[in-house]
Structure 1
Amino acid sequence: MKTLIPATLAVLLNLNVLLVGAEPPDKPQAASTNVASVAKPAGDALQSRMQSVLQTSLMKGSENSAAGLIYMEAETRKLFKEFPERPEPYELLMSAATFCDAEKARKLAHEIVDSKVADVEIKARAAGLLKNLDNVGKPLALKYSALDGRAVDLEKLKGKVVLVDFWATWCPPCIGMLPHLKATYNELKPRGFEILGISYDDDRQKLESFLKREQVSWPQFFDEKGRENKFALEFGVQALPTMWLVDKKGTLRYLNAGNDLVQKVKTLLDE
């Protein structure tokens, strides 16, 4: 089973809160879900250091997201030297890679893929990131029948700016981001902004109840397969929330739209 990091550094930095994601409550905790779940005994020195690096990165990033990422990479490299045989620090490097600019992300992802120490699942995530980086600037194909029966086809949404939101109701940072998404949607929908949800839930009733309660109106993909859903596998997205932004021509422009979302959307709407 693939594992997830259900928290994105970018979202955490933007919200200026410490939200560490978790596996669904009815699922066993995966070792690589986040740095808190590293499968090592309590008090493990590396685990404690990684927690400290993550928390300090978030604090630094609350004022400047770039500063948080720079700190995370620098401290992670210190951990490589201190714990040369341990694969866990590559979790932190992967987090940094996911939210860096494309050039830096590509460099870090290649480093992870080429590592002799990083574990198989981290390498798989890095390979998935490289694949998606190659797709930036290219047309994105996305077509599905939504949870409520609506037919969704990104091809037919040309002329609009579209956010593709990979999320789950069991992901705290996803829920934390929701008010911002709803406000952005309500503000910019009249100008041609749309959101397409890709749910990683596996309980239809729970998802429908959540959407109704929170008044989420945009169409949701749901196939009951949770973390193994069709688009999770097709696109290799294993970090939640992940937000892609597609321009009016149907071209994938951003893999990390959560940072400065409103400005990114407005810029694409003005093109």
Structure 2
Amino acid sequence: MATKLLYIICFLFSMGNAFGQTIFTISGYGKKIQDGDTIYLSYLEKGKHILESTTAINERFSFTGMVKHPTKANIYRNENPGLAGFITESVSIYLEPGDIKIISPDTLTGAEISGTPLNDTLQLLHSQLAIVWERMRSIKDPDLFDETEKRDTALLHRNRRELDKAFYERADIELAFANQYPNTYVSLDILHQLSRNNTYIFKVEKVYNKLAESLKNTDKGKTINERIQKKSQVMSGMKAIDFSMEDTDGKIINLSEFEGKYVLLDFWASWCGPCREEHANLINAYQHYWDRGFTILSVSIDTDKNKWMEAIEKDGITWTQVSDLQGNKGDVYLKYGITSIPANFLIDPDGVVIAKDLKGDFLKEELAKLFLTPPQ
């Protein structure tokens, strides 16, 4: 048996060398993991989603495999990430040569990872994030509210605000970590994720400039740079790019028609959850300031007109809506350098961009300053 096992290991090693791949092993332990629990390992390899699973025995689980380069992965318990609508428990790791260890006093919650250089570095980040994660776990996500809780709008808005606050606190910690450790894949992944967020893109740029050239030249490094360049296409102080587009009735609307007013140029889509959540805030702003020279022009990046129209009606939107139904290939979407939605540009009466990506309380505060009224 030992000879056979040695042969298999040697075979895997030779195959790994032949294809430039490296062998990893994962040894996991969770004090509260039950016999029969299904543990999933999920990661991307050459753009292809890889999903493996194993069954826990005696509070333990393990995986063995090969990857060509360090790869971010996630471990889940009893929740198939391809099928689960909401993930409640997971732990992130890096697949790289060596024996990766996952040890938890619970199931996967609170797990510590170690055993390889990248996972040691990732654990350092996790330690810095522990307090924020604990607070986030104490706040019930509105997506998990029951019907009674959903009717409590004060609770719903409070929980969303608290989760948003925790998100930004987490992002600040991650960005500071990447700035301190610019020569690791951990920082590359942090910047890749945060570069999706319009609010952080220029903070990301400052840290990106410190990355090792080898990291900048990876696919993720190149993607980060592309996002930075796109977000620089329209900046505060620049004249807003005029455009023409059809509204819901097929009438041609020009952005320049709104000169003389403060305009929030808003990009959204019916399928974008955060966009739909922000509509309540936009409705409040519109109702409060429309008679003082403020309006909203929303550009949908939908491709299905029926879904676009249904979302407008369901959310109770009354301001002007336009779309070319070309999704993220639309001319205006590309000209404005949009990388993620929701995204917006606040334009003054002269057609000059004066602020970008104002959401929630940030939008309320900016409008209050413009119109010299306390934020609502």
CA-to-aligned-CA distance 1:223-259 (integer Å, 9 cap, x gap)? 2211212212112201110111111211001122225
State whether structure 2 residue 271 is matched by structure 1 residue 239: no
Aligned to 1:122: 224
State whether structure 2 residue 302 is matched by structure 1 residue 198: no
CA-to-aligned-CA distance 1:135-166 (integer Å, 9 cap, x gap)? 32021123223232343223222221100111
State whether structure 2 residue 173 is matched by structure 1 residue 71: yes
Distance 1:243 1:152 in 2: 18
Question: Which residue identity is paired with 1:185?
Answer: Y
Secondary structure of the residue that 1:260 maps to in structure 2? Answer: helix
Distance 1:54 1:148 in 2: 51
Aligned to 1:255: 356
State whether structure 2 residue 216 is matched by structure 1 residue 168: no
Give the gaps of 5 or more residues in structure 2.
Answer: 1-46, 48-70, 76-91, 96-112, 114-121, 137-161
Q: What RMSD over aligned residues (CA atoms) do the two structures have, in Å?
A: 3.7
Secondary structure of the residue that 2:232 maps to in structure 1? Answer: helix
Match of 2:93 among 45, 49, 63: 45
Secondary structure of the residue that 2:233 maps to in structure 1? Answer: helix
Give the 3 Å change call, closer, same or farther, for CA 240–67 of structure 1 in structure 2.
same
CA-to-aligned-CA distance 1:176-196 (integer Å, 9 cap, x gap)? 111111111111111111111
Q: Is the 8 A contact 1:61 1:69 kept in 2?
A: no
| TM-score normalised according to structure 1 size | 0.69
Distance 1:181 1:165 in 2: 10
Which stretch of structure 1 is more off in the superposition, 74-83 or 207-216? Answer: 74-83
Aligned to 1:14: none
Q: Percent identity, aligned pairs only?
A: 21
Instruction: Tell me how many residue pairs correspond in the alignment.
Output: 228
Q: Is the 8 A contact 2:238 2:352 kept in 1?
A: yes
State whether structure 2 residue 206 is matched by structure 1 residue 107: yes
Matches within 5 A, 1:1-271: 40-43=72-75, 45-46=93-94, 56=132, 62-63=164-165, 67-77=169-179, 80-83=182-185, 87-95=188-196, 98-100=198-200, 104=203, 107-108=206-207, 115-117=216-218, 118-132=220-234, 135-144=235-244, 145-258=246-359, 260-269=362-371
Q: Is the 8 A contact 2:301 2:327 kept in 1?
A: yes
User: Of Structure 1 and Structure 2, which has the larger fraction of its residues in strand?
Assistant: 2
The structure with the larger Rg is 2
Tell which has more relative contact order, 1 or 2 (C-alpha 8 A, sep 6+). Answer: 1
Give the 3 Å change call, closer, same or farther, for CA 93–262 of structure 1 in structure 2.
closer
| TM-score normalised according to structure 2 size | 0.51
Give the 3 Å change call, closer, same or farther, for CA 93–42 of structure 1 in structure 2.
closer
Aligned to 1:24: none
Give the gaps of 5 or more residues in structure 1.
Answer: 1-30, 32-38
